[in-house]
A and B are shown apart, each in its own frame.
Chain A
Amino acid sequence: SQQGEEDPQALSIQEGENATMNCSYKTSINNLQWYRQNSGRGLVHLILIRSNEREKHSGRLRVTLDTSKKSSSLLITASRAADTASYFCATVQGSTLTFGKGTMLLVSP
């Protein structure tokens, strides 16, 4: 069963705008990760945030984690057409990752 659930399911923005995707989960976690998937390709790891961290940055990515609300958000700033992809959150419990169904992001030039 899905642990993480992303919201929205789809997001369409213009280049230069910011994109925010949210993830909610149900049980306690060791850490939470975000992945990106381009059409027809495998998933690629973007960023990991540990359960004792509240915010993390990597380039144009900003991830927050609120363990009290069991939620996380991924912000992509100054989006580019090349950011068009599906984005998944994954919760880590023990040795396994459980993925949500993802947010499809379309960035138009």
Chain B
Amino acid sequence: DAGVIQSPRHEVTEMGQEVTLRCKPISGHDYLFWYRQTMMRGLELLIYFNNNVPIDDSGMPEDRFSAKMPNASFSTLKIQPSEPRDSAVYFCASRLGTAPGELFFGEGSRLTVL
């Protein structure tokens, strides 16, 4: 299995630009999570999906952030417009609902907003 695949691995953009991060979960996993990691705040849960349906987006910092999961094998996290404080590593993770909770993480997308 290829594991959770995220792209891009690195993104450098200027303030005000739109950023789209992509994630392909492990085949057969029915839960997908987006986390953000910074030195100051650690790992924060942004949103999670179950069977492609957003369940809890209370961690999404503001309206500039949006996430979609159009099908079981693809999810996007979009930031529009981006700001310097959005600079962080964004992780996607998936798991199988019948498992006791082990998450499988992608390698992350490091975002730098100038």
Q: Which residues of A contact B (CB under 8 A)?
A: 2, 30-31, 33, 35, 41-45, 48, 50, 88, 90, 92, 95-102
Contact = CB atoms under 8 A, between A and B. Distances in A.
Nearest to A30: B101
B42 A31 contact: no
Given A33-B102, A42-B91, A92-B101, A2 B42 contact: yes
A95 B48 contact: yes
A41 B43 CA distance: 14
Contacts of B107: 41-42
Contacts of B101: 30-31, 33, 48, 92, 97
A48 B102 contact: yes
Contacts, number: 54
Interface string B1-41: 00010000000000000000000000000010101000000
Interface string B45-61: 10010100001100000
Interface residues of B, number: 22
A31 to B, nearest CB: 6
Given A45-B104, A95-B50, A98-B45, 10 more contacts: A31-B100, A42-B106, A42-B107, A42-B108, A43-B43, A43-B105, A45-B103, A48-B101, A97-B45, A97-B103
Contacts of B106: 42
B48 A96 contact: yes
Nearest to A47: B102
A44 to B, nearest CB: 7
A66 B52 CA distance: 36
Contacts of B43: 43, 88, 99, 101
